[in-house]
Amino acid sequence: MKIRIVIGKNFGDEGKGLATDFFAAEAQKAAAPCLVIRHNGGAQAGHTVDLPGCRFIFHQLSSGSFRRADTLWAAAFLPDLYKLREEISDFAALAGFYPRLLASPECRCVLIDDVLVNMALETARGSRRHGSCGMGINEAVERSAEPEFALTLGAVAGMDCDTLIGEMARIRREYLPRRLEALGLRAEDLGEYGELLQNPFVIRNAAEEMCRGAEAVQLLPEGTSLSTRYSNVIFEGAQGLLLDSEYTPYAPHLTSSRTGLTNPLSLCRSWFPGETPEAVYVSRTYVTRHGAGPLPHEGGFDPAAYSIRDLTNQPNPWQGALRFAPHGSFADFFAPMLTDSDGAAVSRSLMLTHCNETRGNILLAEGSLPVDAFLCQAMTQGLITGGYTSFSPYAEQITAFPQ
């Protein structure tokens, strides 16, 4: 069995979609049944996969979907059923088939009020924004911490629409006023967001779409053996190591989930005992950050001097424009990886993406270095066991290192 854990090394947007597509394509060529597990975050992820003539940005489906890999939402994933059907329909229109989507019934669902509160809070913060995507992920986590207000996927799937409307109305009535007070917000001061948070038709419309979305998901029965059904497994992480909820140097500008090995290794122990996965850390040859928060060495190189073109991370009201920086020193580059995998039963590898944009070099604060020389040095020092380089957006053109 092959198990890969795809992890963003920095602040997200490193190329996790490309890496997942690459490993899923390998499995497809070998006619090996493949499963991609989404284990953190939710619909805020934007993982791009390019194929000749088309591209798709995955939010809740896995980036292995074009290769007919199944998608599994682990319990820590936070689905937004309101948005799911649109993504599935858009994908099917492009790919010509509907992907198979499995899920743990314990997934905590994002509700429309979570999204509205998130947007209202970020707007109220003004220049002190945390860099949230405005997709309600943290609000869903906070609400679900109180069991009487959590709505799991299994619960939603077992409700008819009227029952779900009643539950969402109850949460709005009993939970929302306390949450707004804790955030220092008043619905009457929130303009359009405040009006939507008091409009019963918003809940009705959202509930109807959530029920339709739930029909597209196959709940994973208790005790299902995944190791007998799949010979290739890919854990597709969201965000990056430097945004991990426990990575305090960049608090409070963090995500509310574990972005490294924590979730995948826990799931491996349960589902694939005895297997040694490959932890694939993914990084551009430079660093990006889309949203507020520290970005060491920002401004350390001029993006206009390189062929950098990002079609996915466009400026938006919540995160602003994509920001750029070189990596720090060689030691700085590997420090988060070593901390994440310290003592873990994994092999470490590194995938460097966007190499074509920097003329085959990795940009460090102390100067640039050819990517092959960088990987060779890392292997010599025992920091990684191998690597991959990408000089295009296409999985078929990724090269393993050493060849």
**Could you give the C-alpha distances from 211 to 78, 135, 204, in angstroms and in order?**
16, 19, 11
Task: Please give the structure tokens belonging to residue 15.
Answer: 């190329």
Tell me the whole-structure pTM to 2 decimals.
0.95
Nearest CA to 84 out of 116, 118, 61 is that of 61
Assign 275 to helix, strand or coil: coil
Helix intervals (H) in 228-356: 262-271, 330-341
Report the b/e string of 335-361 with b at 16+ CB within 10 A: ebbeebbeebebebbbbbbbbbbbeeb
3-state secondary structure at position 363: strand
> Do 282 and 15 touch, CB atoms closer than 8 A?
yes
Tell me the C-alpha to C-alpha distance, in Å, between residue 130 and each of 35, 43, 118, 312.
34, 18, 11, 20
In whole angstroms, give the CA distance from residue 34 to residue 26. Answer: 10
Phi first, then psi, for residue 239 (nearest 5°) are 60, -155
Q: What is the pLDDT of residue 274?
A: 92
CA quadruple 85, 91, 97, 101: dihedral, nearest 10:
-50
Q: What is the model's pLDDT at position 129?
A: 61
Please name the helix (run of DSSP H) or strand (run of DSSP E) that holds residue 395, with its range, or none. Answer: none
Q: Is 63 exposed, middle or buried (0-12, 13-18, 19+ CB in 10 A)?
A: buried
Q: How far apart are CA 274 and CA 217, in angstroms?
A: 29
Contact predicate 401/372, CB 8 Å: yes
Residue labelled with tokens 């574990």: 258
Task: Using the structure block, give the residue that is written with the tokens 């994973």.
Answer: 220
List the chain pLDDT tens, one digit each, 403 residues: 999 999 999 999 999 999 999 999 999 999 999 999 999 999 999 999 999 989 999 999 999 999 999 999 999 999 999 999 999 999 999 999 999 999 999 999 999 999 999 999 988 877 666 656 678 999 999 999 999 999 999 999 999 999 999 999 999 999 999 999 999 999 888 999 999 999 999 999 999 999 999 999 999 988 788 999 999 999 999 999 999 999 988 988 888 899 999 999 999 999 999 999 999 999 999 999 998 899 999 999 999 999 888 877 777 776 778 999 999 999 999 999 999 998 889 999 999 999 999 999 999 999 999 999 999 999 999 999 999 999 999 999 999 999 7
pLDDT confidence of residue 130: 60
Q: Give backbone dihedrals phi and psi of 34, rounded to 5 degrees, phi first.
A: -125, 140
Residues in the chain: 403
Closest by CA position to 65, among listed 113, 25, 32, 30: 25
Geometric angle at alpha carbon 286, from 395 and 259, rounded to 5°: 70
Distances (CA, A) of 11 to 146, 188, 253, 259, 294: 29, 35, 10, 10, 10
Q: What are phi and psi of 87, to 5 degrees?
A: -65, -45
| Rounded CA separation 114/231 (Å) | 37
pLDDT score of 93 = 97
> Looking at residue 131, what is its pLDDT?
58
